[in-house]
Amino acid sequence: MTKHIFALALAAAAATANAQDAPFGTEADAAYAADLWSVMEELRMVGDGMIHAIPYEGIEPHGLMLETFFTEGTVDGHTGTLIVKRNYGPAGVSADEVQAAPEEHLGSITVMFRREQGYDADNQDWFWVKYLPDGTLDQNPAGMQLAGRVAKGADAGCIACHSGSDNYLFTNAAITP
């Protein structure tokens, strides 16, 4: 019995250590993502009364129709670049259908927020997060919440894909018409 209790305690301690060492999906990442969601609500990027743009054709892993917004936000006293991408579907949905009923087609909201210098210098200090339409955090197949340094060091995922671009962005629409 004592061995069994010790084994359970050891497993729980290892799981806690692994969760603390995880590059993303921690409780601190989830709390920061919740604060960021509140900022985006104030900016009308998400939630009731959110502003809309003309959707454009996208590609996976984002929606097949997208709206992207570039602005600034302030979280915990730090102001940084905020990029909000609304991901719409399903396959075959048109821009007109999304404009007519965006809430019916919204699959997720993916966000990049440039945090304070030194947050993740290897990746230009971007904080990554994927929300479901109601503001809850999406999860990967292993059950990790998609917030923070998402998939840092992995061969696939947010950072791996975006690191192929000098500024981690695939558009310069934020700076050109």
Q: What tens-digit pLDDT sequence spans the chain (177 residues)? A: 433 332 333 233 334 334 445 678 899 999 999 999 999 999 999 999 999 999 999 888 888 899 999 999 999 999 999 999 999 999 999 999 999 999 999 999 999 999 999 999 998 999 999 999 999 999 988 898 999 887 776 776 776 777 666 777 776 655 433
In degrees and rounded to multiples of 5, residue 70 shows phi and psi of -120, 125
SS3 14: helix
Predicted confidence at residue 106, as pLDDT, reads 97
Tokens of 119: 């947050």
Closest CA to 115 of 104, 103, 127, 107: 127
Per-position DSSP letters for 17-28, written without gaps between them: HHHHH-SB--HH
What is the rounded distance in angstroms from the CA atom of residue 87 to the CA atom of residue 84? 10
Predicted confidence at residue 166, as pLDDT, reads 72
Predicted confidence at residue 22, as pLDDT, reads 64
Query: Is the overall model pTM greater than 0.75, yes or no?
Result: yes
What is the rounded distance in angstroms from the CA atom of residue 45 to the CA atom of residue 52? 8
